[in-house]
Chains A and B, each alone.
Chain A
Amino acid sequence: MTVKSFPALVALSASPGLVHAAGIEGPAAGGMAGLTEWVMWLLVVALLLVSLRRGSEAVRLRKKLLRGQELELAFREQALNEHSIVSTTDKDGNIIEVNDKFVDAFGYNREELLGKPHGMVYPGGDPVLFDEIARATLRGDIWSGETQIVKKDGSIALTQCTVVPMFDEYGNHLKNISLRTDVTRDRISRAQQQLTSCLEMLPDDVYVFEPDSLRFVYINRSGLRRLGWSAEEYRNKTVLDTTPNLDERIFRSMLAPLIAGDIPSLQSETTYRGRPIEAHLQMMETTDRKCRVVAVFRDISDRKAAEKARREFTAMVSHELRTPLTSIKGSLRLLLSGSAGALPENALSMLQIADGNSDRLMALVDDILDLEKIDAGQMDFTMEPIEAGELLTEALDAYRGYGAEFGVEFKGRGLDQPIHIHGNRERLLQVMGNLLSNAAKFSASGDSVEVSLVSQGDMARIEVRDNGSGIPEKARATLFDRFTQFGGEKGGGPRGTGLGLSIVKAIVDQHGGRIDFRSETGKGTTFFVDLPRTDNKDSGRMRARTQAA
């Protein structure tokens, strides 16, 4: 028998002692040889016992080592779990494990997450990001980057994320372990710092205060400068400290609809510490869900001065242009009437040309001043409730004589309908006057022009239809532009200024309406003006527009 017959023992250990033992020859024959053989066997047994003991010691040590490694791994895992938000997804991207921090950070419970596609916690599924992570992890790369997570309450958390892919021994992708750190607070803090820096640089005053206590929580540099307060001082102050004798009751009643959410913002022009100010107040909610009032005050001294200068200029131009025109027009009218004595026929003909052109010049001055007023926001648009049919009848009566000069009859249709609009009567009459005079000028003598009123949903539609020469299609794009004329009026009448329709459009726009036309060359033109009706639920919107105007 040789140790070779104990192959299991030989194979038991790779220790050098056993390799040596395996090299010993088998027992020899004879008495001495028999003793030697026994000694040898005893040695072998002793060696085997020593080896076994050593082996069991090695196993024990290995077990101890493994236990230590397991413990270390457990500690590491615990440390990781303490520090990071950890989730594991299978190769298909379904969540198979989340740690407590994940649950705590994002508000989901495990049942809501496990087995679900990980896309459920990304805003909109974020396919581009998934693709990027999948490509990296399938290559065996670790992916790191910033991801957004939709929390259960719908808010978004920003996380710094590392995704580690795991493979089996054959290289098959098994799962991804994602380690996250919530960096939302850092980002918000950084964003707040940036925002504060921006607010500090603004030339406008920014005040933020609590709606209940009226206590300031922030005032920017410009605001502090105006109030003469230091950055430390304002935290002990309230809105009531900004203006002597500020009536708290009135101020709170002004704020009430804003706080209640009935209005989105409060805007007003006021005088504050001796300067004209445009104030804009709005509610905001902080990240910790506290309500704040943000007030932005803009010093509009320069704008007011410019507006005043422009108003004065308009008044001056109006006066300076009208005064000589009054003399010219008056002289011509007196001469033409024969008040200054009879004139030869040729002279009368020349005077008529001068008279017609002085009318045109006067109309031009009026139109330019109207446009100037519209541009400067100085045209009076005081709104009132108007019955549309009555307004149109008034316009028809006022311009009937004008139509007669061209041999054109003005007719009304559907004007007795109770359709109400909200508008400025004078300006709407101006619109109708322009449309009617245009229609008369472009109609043949003996024709009629029809003005009709219809209700179209929320709008009242006014139509002015003539059977005249029509407007060529090429003129459509520029018809409402300034100084646009395309010809086609009958001879003899005064030429237009080319400004009328642009004024008409500006007036209709100010009413929240729309003007357009359809025309067929040789058959006529219909202008239609749509104005919001007020005998419906939209009357509030119109009132708001009126106040804004």
Chain B
Amino acid sequence: MTELKKILHVEDERDIREIARMSLAVVGGFDLEQCGSGDEALERVRDFGPDLILMDVMMPGMDGETAMDHIRALDGFGRTPVVFMTAKASNANVDLLREKGAADVITKPFDPIALPEQLREIWRGLAGAAVQV
């Protein structure tokens, strides 16, 4: 099982990007690339080649779900796991995002100290599911 190393974080809020940078790069030690919009993520995803994408749902312009669909349509990214972050924490929203292909959903506010381990846990779960398949 490969280790989770490269994360592409897509978030329009600059402050939250900064907290996520501290959380994922400083606390978690991941190789992190950050984008402020879905369009920017589409431009940079090929070059960066992330293991996992952490994506905000509500963003101006292209929203998270649309960005995921576009990235999934790119060659080699059809199975790249996308973990959504959302402030809409209702079960119905979470279920809807999972139905649309999200690997998991993390609700805001997130704990920046716990976030790296949360993502590693999701990654391990995905790898386990892949082995079972």
Contact = CB atoms under 8 A, between A and B. Distances in A.
Interface of A: 315, 318-319, 322-327, 329-331, 333-334, 337, 339-340, 362, 380, 426
Nearest to B86: A319
Contacts of A333: 111-113
A380 B19 contact: no
Given A315-B88, A330-B23, A380-B91, 5 more contacts: A322-B87, A327-B16, A327-B19, A334-B22, A380-B90
B108 interface: yes
Q: Is the interface of B mostly helix, strand, loop or mixed?
A: loop
Contacts of A426: 91
A322 B108 contact: yes
A334 B27 contact: yes
Contact of B22 (A315, A322, A340): A340
B112 A334 contact: yes
Given A337-B27, A339-B26, A327 B88 contact: no
Interface in B11-31: 13, 15-16, 19-20, 22-23, 26-27
15 contacts: A319-B87, A319-B88, A323-B16, A323-B87, A326-B16, A326-B87, A330-B23, A330-B109, A330-B112, A333-B112, A334-B27, A339-B22, A339-B26, A339-B112, A380-B92
A426 B89 CA distance: 12
A248 B112 CA distance: 60
Given A330-B109, A331-B19, A318 B88 contact: yes
Contact of A334 (B19, B58, B92): B19
Interface residues of B, number: 22
Interface string B109-123: 111110000000000
Contact of A330 (B16, B90, B91): B16
B25 to A, nearest CB: 10
Closest 6 CB pairs of A and B: A330-B19, A322-B87, A327-B15, A326-B109, A326-B108, A329-B109
B13 A323 contact: yes
Contacts of B108: 322-323, 326
A426 B92 CA distance: 11
Contacts of A339: 22-23, 26-27, 112-113
Contact of A322 (B20, B109, B113): B109
A333 to B, nearest CB: 5
Contacts of A324: 15
B15 A334 contact: no
Interface in B79-99: 87-92
Contacts of B23: 330, 334, 339
A337 B28 CA distance: 13
Given A323-B13, A334-B113, A318 B87 contact: yes
Contacts of B91: 380, 426
Contacts of B111: 330, 333
A339 B27 CA distance: 7
A519 B20 CA distance: 47
A255 B111 CA distance: 54
Contacts of A340: 22
B94 to A, nearest CB: 11
B110 A326 contact: yes
A334 B23 CA distance: 8
Contacts of A334: 19, 22-23, 27, 112-113
Contacts of B110: 326, 330
Nearest to B113: A337
A117 B16 CA distance: 90
Give the one of B15, B87, B88 with max A CB within 10 A. Answer: B87
A54 B12 CA distance: 132
A522 B15 CA distance: 48
B95 to A, nearest CB: 10
Nearest to A314: B88
Contacts of B89: 318
A368 to B, nearest CB: 14
Interface in B26-55: 26-27
Contacts of A329: 109
Contacts of B87: 318-319, 322-323, 326
A337 B115 CA distance: 13
Give the one of A325, A337, A362 with max B CB within 10 A. Answer: A337
A545 to B, nearest CB: 20
A325 B27 CA distance: 20
Contact of B109 (A315, A362, A380): A362
A330 B23 CA distance: 9
A319 B59 CA distance: 11
Nearest to B58: A319
Contacts of A323: 13, 16, 87, 108
Give the one of B20, B92, B108 with max A CB within 10 A. Answer: B108
A334 B91 CA distance: 28
B115 to A, nearest CB: 9
Nearest to A335: B22
